[in-house]
Amino acid sequence: MSEGSRGSPPAFGQVVIGPPGSGKTTYCQAMSSFLGRLGRRVAVVNLDPANESLPGPCALDIAELVTLPDVMASLALGPNGGLLYCMEYLEANADWLRDRLQALRGHYVLFDCPGQVELYTHHGALKNVFAQLAKWNFRLAAVHLVDSHYCTDPGKFISVLCTSLCTMLHVELPHVNVLSKMDLIEQYGKLAFNLDYYTEVLDLSYLVDHLASDPFFRNFRRLNEKLVEVIEDYSLVSFVPLNVQDKQSMKQVMQAVDKANGYSFGDQEHRSLEALMSAAVGADFHFSSTLAVQEKYVQSQDKAVEEEVMDL
């Protein structure tokens, strides 16, 4: 797996990134199980030195190289500074990672990454590690998880859009943004718009108008308009909804990622007509997935209204 060796077959995988609590480790375990049932040889690699209690099997753990508690104790650093140091230490010891990954050739690799947002928006260490993986002939896609509860707050959703865009531009990998925990979205409150408005990131002027109805955000309308202009000018951000308990939802995310990292165009699996069509017209498949989640959300809202009426 030397940097100059391009003759070996490519290794495919995902780098799973996102803020703390977005469900990265849960996603890795669920996707590993899902892909395993499809016949893929999957390996989960933990690159989060703060993740001390892994819920499932892990083929490689960064704790063998460095841990956050050790760094904090020895260098008198806080959690954030300690985590940045750990990633810089991993970058400096890339040969350790290369040697350990050698044993995983032939596997589809899921890299479970830390949750510190600045690692993906402006800090260079993890980005450089991803670049090294590309030199070692890894074909990777970044799966950026965002908790779906941000959809219920327009202000937070604009912030999420800015963070997602910044992450896409900084990480420089094929990118799939995912709204996680869709099975819990009805617990967060009523959405101002249909779900496809958030997943497809449609005309954001409606979101600015909605924010302007709030006295607190009214004073920041000009700022929000400029932020929205930046997001729309790049026209890069969209989301795939995910419920790890739903096989169809997992399939939609898998198809989006396989298209992003090129796996669906290889010959590792029997490529059925459905697989080829999902790669060619992925937007339609995403829309059907969003529609199914939207229907479940609407049904739960209707049920809640019926219960309120019955109480009256």
Residue 285 has a pLDDT of: 46
Domains belonging to the chain, first-starting first, are 11-186+238-262 (3.40.50.300)
Residue 273 has a pLDDT of: 44
Model confidence at 45: pLDDT above 90: yes
Mean pLDDT value across the chain? 85
Report the percentage of the chain scoring pLDDT > 90: 57
Model confidence at 53: pLDDT above 50: yes
Instruction: Return the minimum-mean-pLDDT range out of 61-65, 127-131, 288-292.
Output: 288-292
Question: What is the average per-residue pLDDT within 106-121?
Answer: 94
Q: Are 293 and 195 in contact (CB under 8 A)?
A: yes
| Closest by CA position to 248, among listed 290, 279, 200, 298 | 290
| Closest by CA position to 65, among listed 82, 44, 48, 90 | 90
Question: What is the average per-residue pLDDT within 214-227?
Answer: 86
pLDDT digits (tens, 9 = 90+) for 251-276: 999 999 999 999 987 655 555 445 54
Residue 139: CB atoms within 10 Å: 17
| Closest by CA position to 18, among listed 171, 131, 124 | 171
Q: Are 203 and 143 in contact (CB under 8 A)?
A: no
Question: What is the average per-residue pLDDT within 101-114?
Answer: 94
Q: Which CB contacts under 8 angstroms, 24+ apart, belong to 299-306? A: 300/186, 301/186, 301/190, 304/186
